A = this chain, B = another copy of it.
Amino acid sequence: MKQNERKKRRSILDTGFSNNAENEGSRLINKDGSFNVKKSGLFFMERFSVFHWLIKMSWIRFFLFMFLGYLLINIIFASLYFGAGIEGLSGDHSLTRPDQFLEAFYFSSQTLTTVGFGYLSPISTFHSLLATFESFIGLMSFAMATGLLYGKFSKPKSGIIYSKNALIAPYKGDGKGLMIRLANAKENHLLNVKANMMISWIDKNLESSSRKYYALPLEIAMINMLPASWTIVHPIIEESPLFNLTYDELSNSEAEVILQLEAYDETYSQHVHTRTSYKYHEIVWGAKFIPILGHEGSYATLKMDDIGRYEKFDFKAE
């Protein structure tokens, strides 16, 4: 009874999600760890963070974006040089207008990047002053690019990979446990790895259905190092919210298991946080993970692509 009371209070202790039960079919946490929430009612710029956007962007898109920005700035300045008269630049000029624009474009790029070959140089006061301004803009832009590149570099990107399914697996002889396996795909050393598991479901027993959250205490909630794989285990004992629950009950209540992970990345000297979730249909009832740790000479070896492989297991007394 008291146990139950504590469980109930716990249901609101560990999450920032709402108890709103209306978005029933959907996930709370996407498989990649992002939140399934849309914010509205603020101007775009109040919600938008340029740095965040550029840092999250893939490297290829980032470079493309940078290059397009470079072209755009060049075209703007070229238009100004060209509009003010190509004779403001030194040298013998082409006869056709498009070629003259190209010359202004070359001059602009040579000023922006501070190459400054000199065969094209500003003569008029307007062109000279604009070139003074453009080279300043160029240096500031590349200073910003440097900052962004370092920001992208130095942001630790966790290489944690999770098993595709959570398993209800045999645990300590007759017992059962909810198990998720994970490993670090990257070479970075991860230290002080902490895990936190909870389950969320829609409680329809009450007059009005509402979403509830329960902590799922772990057998081991922190390890010092993650050299190999780690199987996270929630023992399904009497105190567990999952005790004596069936697949149908989980399915009917739209259950979702949420796993949060925090670790210290030695290479980046920073903490990394990842999370993932398993909807009820991603939980396999009666199965156990196939070992992926072997040995080869004096090394231990880890088969990373088998992280989610399991074999079926029959619980006799069920």
Q: Which of A79-87, A119-127, A202-210 contacts B (4 or more CB under 8 A)?
A: A119-127
The residue in A16, A34, A260, A299 that gathers the most chain B C-beta atoms within 10 A of its C-beta is A16
Query: Are the CB atoms of B270 and A304 closer together than 8 Å?
Result: no
| A299 contacts across to B, CB distance below 8 A | 23, 26, 36-38
| A40 contacts across to B, CB distance below 8 A | 301-304
Is A74 part of the binding interface, using a Cβ–Cβ cutoff of 8 Å? yes
* A149 vs B154: C-alpha distance when bound (angstroms): 11
Q: Which of A162-170, A188-196, A240-248 contacts B (4 or more CB under 8 A)?
A: A188-196
Q: How many residues of A contact B (CB 8 A)?
A: 122
| A72 contacts across to B, CB distance below 8 A | none
* A132 vs B113: C-alpha distance when bound (angstroms): 9
* A117 vs B67: C-alpha distance when bound (angstroms): 24
Is A22 part of the binding interface, using a Cβ–Cβ cutoff of 8 Å? yes
Q: Which of A43-51, A173-181, A279-287, A310-318 contacts B (4 or more CB under 8 A)?
A: A43-51
Is A138 part of the binding interface, using a Cβ–Cβ cutoff of 8 Å? yes
* A55 vs B123: C-alpha distance when bound (angstroms): 38
Residue of B nearest to A198 (CB): B224
Residue of B nearest to A298 (CB): B26
Query: Are the CB atoms of B118 and A305 closer together than 8 Å?
Result: no
Query: Are the CB atoms of A35 and B271 closer together than 8 Å?
Result: no
* A131 vs B185: C-alpha distance when bound (angstroms): 40
The residue in A27, A159, A270 that gathers the most chain B C-beta atoms within 10 A of its C-beta is A159
From the candidates B135, B223, B300, name the one contacting A38 in the complex (CB within 8 A): B300
From the candidates B118, B298, B305, name the one contacting A116 in the complex (CB within 8 A): B118
The residue in A42, A55, A122, A191 that gathers the most chain B C-beta atoms within 10 A of its C-beta is A42
* A113 vs B110: C-alpha distance when bound (angstroms): 12
Is A93 part of the binding interface, using a Cβ–Cβ cutoff of 8 Å? no
* A294 vs B38: C-alpha distance when bound (angstroms): 10
Query: Are the CB atoms of B301 and A39 closer together than 8 Å?
Result: yes
| A228 contacts across to B, CB distance below 8 A | 16-18, 37
Residue of B nearest to A141 (CB): B139
Is A106 part of the binding interface, using a Cβ–Cβ cutoff of 8 Å? yes
Residue of B nearest to A35 (CB): B227
Sample of 11 A–B contacts (CB below 8 Å) = A38-B300, A40-B302, A48-B186, A49-B157, A49-B186, A55-B267, A113-B114, A113-B135, A119-B121, A146-B149, A225-B275
Closest 5 CB pairs of A and B: A147-B150, A118-B118, A26-B298, A115-B116, A41-B305
